[in-house]
Structure 1
Amino acid sequence: MATGTLPASFPGLKSRDSGLGFAKSVDFVRVCDFRKFKSGRRRFTVIRNSSNSSSDIAELQPASEGSPLLVPRQKYCESIHKTVRRKTRTVMVGNVAIGSEHPIRVQTMTTNDTKDVAGTVEEVMRIADQGADLVRITVQGKREADACFEIKNSLVQKNYNIPLVADIHFAPSVALRVAECFDKIRVNPGNFADRRAQFEQLEYTDDEYQKELQHIEEVFSPLVEKCKKYGRAVRIGTNHGSLSDRIMSYYGDSPRGMVESAFEFARICRKLDFHNFLFSMKASNPVVMVQAYRLLVAEMYVHGWDYPLHLGVTEAGEGEDGRMKSAIGIGTLLQDGLGDTIRVSLTEPPEKEIDPCRRLANLGMRAAELQQGVAPFEEKHRHYFDFQRRSGQLPIQKEGEEVDYRGVLHRDGSVLMSVSLDQLKAPELLYKSLAAKLVVGMPFKDLATVDSILLRELPSVDDHDA
């Protein structure tokens, strides 16, 4: 017997097979008794919402290989065969509309001291002249918040109406103050209401955890109400490097924890009937960043949410490295059809971020028309919605072979190189042949560096050079 669960958003249920039974509870529908349902496929399309003929069919699949538990098939984009931009609602940030019905917006962040009003105004003007759609400014305390009013007024007087975004950490009162003049508030769920992470393992009872959530609601609700009053937008911006101890104790330092941290704040917004907000799931590791965004979108599909996404890789770096790192993370998601506004984070002057940002935005907007796509197929070899290391088969040891390759090769695909005794006698030439970086004559491992060397013969004890 197999069982499965479905969200209770399927109020009217009917089955394609008479052998299925249903039992409905408060928050999910349990599907039980699959004994009469026979299929050789790993994916089971069994449930339809009969109250809405246009709704999607709910597809069930095994929770893991060979598991009798069937769960809804995860979906993180509109299509895995071609780029189709995910449909979202429109979020207004000042006079700029963000969402699937609009171009992908480009933004950056100032580096000037916010208290230096003249310097910050000059920097924002340079950024706007380069074509940015939005500018984010860090607001650490009350003095910076007071300066924001002067910054806004100075820009308006100079006919610069580019929307301004306040970056807030640890300071709910500052957010309330700056919401009166800036167009959007970015809050970090990891530190807006929770204390700074001490990397402690905490244990909560259910009641204690609910009290923590109530505390978040008490702290965050006034800002939501003020943003509703003034017509401001909010970005719920989770950062992989600043999750709270509470979240990490429950979910670990993981994409799942990032998503749940953001959802705690999103539920408060929805409870207060505030929907002018968007999400971001930033990380310095592009792989973690991509997985977090895909998981976020998968959860939004389950809940029926359609909020836009701000894409970015934190601390990407400078030069080619920073641009490539951002292109890997942001570009991957744009090809998935995800992303409505982006920032390429570089350790360079902010106006230098606009060109690579614009290139990626154009790539995302044109992805659907430039690619041919592939014929629809069923993926049987991997879970494309998460990241798992591929398993490989080691070579079979042949009779007469002196080297046992099974004990040398690694399942993670390490690169080996055969080295001769003559190469050992010339270290600098050896390092270059191994593709190692040389700094003051010392070797350092790089992305292209060989992982292991294979000596087919050992030097003699008297051969000191080798």
Structure 2
Amino acid sequence: MQTLSNPQTTPETTPAFDTTIHRRQTRPVPVGNVTIGGGHPVVVQSMINEDTLDVEGSVAGIRRLHEIGCEIVRVTVPSMAHGRALADIKARLQETYQPVPLVADVHHNGLKIALEVAKHVDKVRINPGLYVFEKPKPDRTEYTEAEFNEIGQKIRETLEPLVISLRDQGKAMRIGVNHGSLAERMLFTYGDTPEGMVESALEFIKICESLDYRNLIISLKASRVPVMLAAYRLMVKRMDDLGMDYPLHLGVTEAGDGEYGRIKSTAGIGTLLAEGIGDTIRVSLTEPPEKEIPVCYSILQSLGLRKTMVEYVACPSCGRTLFNLEEVLEKVRAATSHLTGLDIAVMGCIVNGPGEMADADYGYVGKQAGYIALYRGREEIKRVPEEKGVEELINLIKADGRWVDPE
């Protein structure tokens, strides 16, 4: 009988697996004092839900988001009055807080509104499916080439003044396609598909490029994760084929709330980020917008794209665990959560630690009943009574000069 043997492997022969996410190279697009793309860190965005006519309420909402790490804030402008209110909002932020990069959301035949808000914000978001609204015809069976081109020319005439305004001011535009609001002629031509979403975006991009304007960010959002993934992947392929390098804004629109909304957003956004796709993200929850920011940072932290908190490595607990793992993890977190940048492992037994925590800066391991083994990296430093475990962990971090007092 033939036997199979495993070849000996050495450090020299073991294949090296690259665990780094290699982000797609994109052009840098400035949005106020923040830059999207160009190798800059993935930017976190959200949107206030206050009425933009409520200047003080809007300023307060923008400030709340910005103070917890939201780097760009979007506001809605459904009318000219809302557009003019942005001037007051911007002024009040300057007087009472600091400048915050602002984006104005413009829909439904919004040229006049867009031209107004372009004076006051750092980026204007338009939806190609609604910017020049095509009233659907219930009895339509086809779009002729002449009809298609006629509307395309109308789009160009309507978009051109906004593009020139933003170009001359050095400001940005987001071409934000939504799966649920594709223009009728795109639906007739391509169907309700990722291809229709991509072609809709490309039509607007090409108009901008013809006017020598390239401060563009592109999004292709859908409420169904597989549609969203397919649209962004196809957009990247089409841009690569056309020599375009525009940064992408990722999001699963109308994700819902609670645990499922967070999982759904993570499934879409996290998958693309892991493929190197995406330069700015927004998690869209049916909750107060402040709830979105921790989810964004958790996604980025888990992929190693931003370091905004302590990374805790902890086993799930089992019959081998020698202490109350949940309780101890909470105590360790309470004492060290302000030490942004550290990786700390809390392991219940010798089976999971130290091997499973090899990449951690510090380890807290239950190796024998009543005692805790403290590690620096892979090296066991000392064993201490369980009741002194957290105190001694802090002392070890202090001895290494990596401790800072919490604010």
**Equivalent position SS for 1:151:** helix
Corresponding residue to 1:167 among 105, 110, 123: 105
> 2: CA distance between counterparts of 1:198 and 1:312?
31
Deviation of the 1:172 alpha carbon: 1.4
Deviation of the 1:196 alpha carbon: 5.2
Contact map agreement 1:164 1:182 (CA 8 A) in 2 = yes
* 1:343 and 2:343 are equivalent in the alignment: no
Name the amino acid aligned to 1:104.
Answer: V
Deviation of the 1:208 alpha carbon: 2.6
Q: Equivalent residue for 2:58?
A: 120
Question: Between Structure 1 and Structure 2, how many residues are aligned?
Answer: 290
Q: Equivalent residue for 1:142?
A: 80
Distance 1:196 1:285, change over 3 A: farther
Contact map agreement 2:143 2:189 (CA 8 A) in 1 = no
* 1:325 and 2:264 are equivalent in the alignment: yes
Deviation of the 1:364 alpha carbon: 4.2
**Equivalent position SS for 1:315:** coil
> 2: CA distance between counterparts of 1:196 and 1:136?
27
> 2: CA distance between counterparts of 1:228 and 1:82?
36
Q: Equivalent residue for 1:183?
A: 122
* 1:225 and 2:164 are equivalent in the alignment: yes
Q: Equivalent residue for 2:96?
A: 158
Contact map agreement 2:253 2:284 (CA 8 A) in 1 = yes
> 2: CA distance between counterparts of 1:184 and 1:202?
38
Q: Equivalent residue for 1:254?
A: 193
Name the amino acid aligned to 1:314.
Answer: T
Within 5 Å, give how 1:366-405 maps onto structure 2.
366=305
Contact map agreement 2:41 2:305 (CA 8 A) in 1 = no
Contact map agreement 1:197 1:242 (CA 8 A) in 2 = no
Q: Equivalent residue for 1:355?
A: 294
Contact map agreement 1:189 1:237 (CA 8 A) in 2 = yes
Q: Equivalent residue for 2:37?
A: 99
> 2: CA distance between counterparts of 1:240 and 1:309?
16
Deviation of the 1:159 alpha carbon: 3.1
Contact map agreement 1:176 1:226 (CA 8 A) in 2 = yes
Deviation of the 1:365 alpha carbon: 4.5
Contact map agreement 1:166 1:182 (CA 8 A) in 2 = yes
TM-score normalised according to structure 2 size: 0.69
**Equivalent position SS for 1:237:** strand
Cα deviation code 1:33-81 (max 9, x no counterpart): xxxxxxxxxxxxxxxxxxxxxxxxxxxxxxxxxxxxxxxxxxxxxxx99
Contact map agreement 1:202 1:246 (CA 8 A) in 2 = no
* 1:83 and 2:21 are equivalent in the alignment: yes
> 1: CA distance between counterparts of 2:245 and 2:42?
16
Distance 1:339 1:287, change over 3 A: same
Q: Equivalent residue for 1:242?
A: 181
Corresponding residue to 2:219 among 265, 280, 304: 280
Name the amino acid aligned to 1:125.
Answer: R
Identity %: 49
Deviation of the 1:118 alpha carbon: 0.8
**Equivalent position SS for 1:313:** coil
> 1: CA distance between counterparts of 2:286 and 2:225?
17
Contact map agreement 1:83 1:336 (CA 8 A) in 2 = yes
Distance 1:231 1:287, change over 3 A: same
Contact map agreement 1:105 1:361 (CA 8 A) in 2 = no
**Equivalent position SS for 1:111:** coil
> 2: CA distance between counterparts of 1:200 and 1:245?
12
**Equivalent position SS for 2:50:** coil
Name the amino acid aligned to 1:228.
Answer: R
Name the amino acid aligned to 2:217.
Answer: L
> 2: CA distance between counterparts of 1:253 and 1:230?
36
Q: Select the structure that is richer in helix.
A: 2
> 2: CA distance between counterparts of 1:197 and 1:160?
45
* 1:110 and 2:48 are equivalent in the alignment: yes
Name the amino acid aligned to 2:233.
Answer: R
**Equivalent position SS for 2:282:** strand
Provide structure 2 residue ranges, at least 5 long, that are not aligned to the other structure. Answer: 1-17, 312-407
Contact map agreement 2:63 2:97 (CA 8 A) in 1 = no
Deviation of the 1:200 alpha carbon: 6.3
Name the amino acid aligned to 1:181.
Answer: H
Provide structure 1 residue ranges, at least 5 long, that are not aligned to the other structure. Answer: 1-79, 371-466
Cα deviation code 1:160-188 (max 9, x no counterpart): 21100001101111001000010000000
Deviation of the 1:101 alpha carbon: 1.4
Name the amino acid aligned to 1:159.
Answer: Y
Distance 1:81 1:102, change over 3 A: closer
Distance 1:280 1:202, change over 3 A: farther
**Equivalent position SS for 2:255:** coil
Contact map agreement 1:106 1:361 (CA 8 A) in 2 = no
Within 5 Å, give how 1:261-272 maps onto structure 2.
261-272=200-211
Q: Equivalent residue for 1:27?
A: none
Deviation of the 1:203 alpha carbon: 2.2
> 1: CA distance between counterparts of 2:304 and 2:232?
18
> 2: CA distance between counterparts of 1:356 and 1:202?
44
> 1: CA distance between counterparts of 2:303 and 2:138?
37
Name the amino acid aligned to 2:50.
Answer: N
**Equivalent position SS for 1:348:** coil
> 2: CA distance between counterparts of 1:202 and 1:229?
42
> 2: CA distance between counterparts of 1:295 and 1:200?
31
Distance 1:316 1:295, change over 3 A: same
Deviation of the 1:100 alpha carbon: 3.9
> 1: CA distance between counterparts of 2:286 and 2:135?
25
